[in-house]
Amino acid sequence: QKKGFIFDLDGVIVDTAKYHFLAWKKLAKSLDIDFTEEENEQLKGVSRVRSLEKILSWGNKTISEEKFTELMAKKNDDYLSHISKMDENEILPDVPRILNLLKENKQLISLGSASKNARTILERVHLKENFNAIVDGNDVSKAKPDPEVFLIAAELLHTKPEDCIVFEDSVAGVEAANIVNMISIGIGSEEVLAHADYVFKDFTEISDTFIKSLIKN
Ligand code: G6P
Ligand code: MG
């Protein structure tokens, strides 16, 4: 049976949160806002626009629309300067093993990310060829927890939502998968991702047997 396996990117395939942090931190500093790692945690899975809105509200700052647009571009330029140095060494442990196992078993694989830089990153780490479909921040109008991104992925893979399995590190992403009855697999901490159908610390904890059981059921 062919299932659709949908992967979030940031925090699932690669750890880009550290680069988002550096870029947001620099921007916050230029506005005299103190930005912490805990706050950065809360931006996981959150769109770029929404992230800047949150940082401004944490810092009690209001800015003009023009300034907002300018800062968004600045943040992304800075982020891209970090991304440009990425290579396959930054792929998170055992992601290639899982992708290969899925391919050997003729399963369908899609990306389902909020990032507008997803394609660039997949190219940098040389994983792009593994995906039958890529849906990212350029393809959607509604952010997670809206399930739009995953529904488009299912459509592109020609699979029913209930035959899809989603790997996610963010609460919003898990919620999005659950809303449309996809199997949600949380990657991260059990407390944070309590609503996921399954939670694993990382892919090293996911056995081949488990993946095969998902394919069969
Ligand atoms: C992912 C990350 C978020 C990021 C968002 C948009 O969901 O977890 O931290 O803000 O993508 O990324 P972008 O690359 O478009 O700024
Ligand atoms: Mg993520």
Q: Is this complex's ipTM strictly greater than 0.95?
A: yes
Task: Write the residue with the smallest CA distance to atom 16 of ligand 1.
Answer: 48
- pTM here is 0.96
DSSP state of 61: -
* 94-113 core/surface letters (b: 16 or more CB in 10 A; e: else): ebeebbebbeeeebbbbbbb
Annotated active-site positions, please? 8, 10
Of ligand 1's listed atoms, the one at least distance from the Cα of 50 is 10
What is the structure's pLDDT at 40? 93
Closest atom of ligand 1 to CA, residue 116: 15
Give per-residue pLDDT as tens, 161-210: 999 999 999 999 999 999 999 999 999 999 999 999 999 999 999 999 99
Protein residues within 5 Å, CB atom, of ion ligand 2:
8, 10-11, 45, 169-170
**What is the rounded distance in angstroms from the CA atom of residue 44 to the CA atom of residue 175?**
14
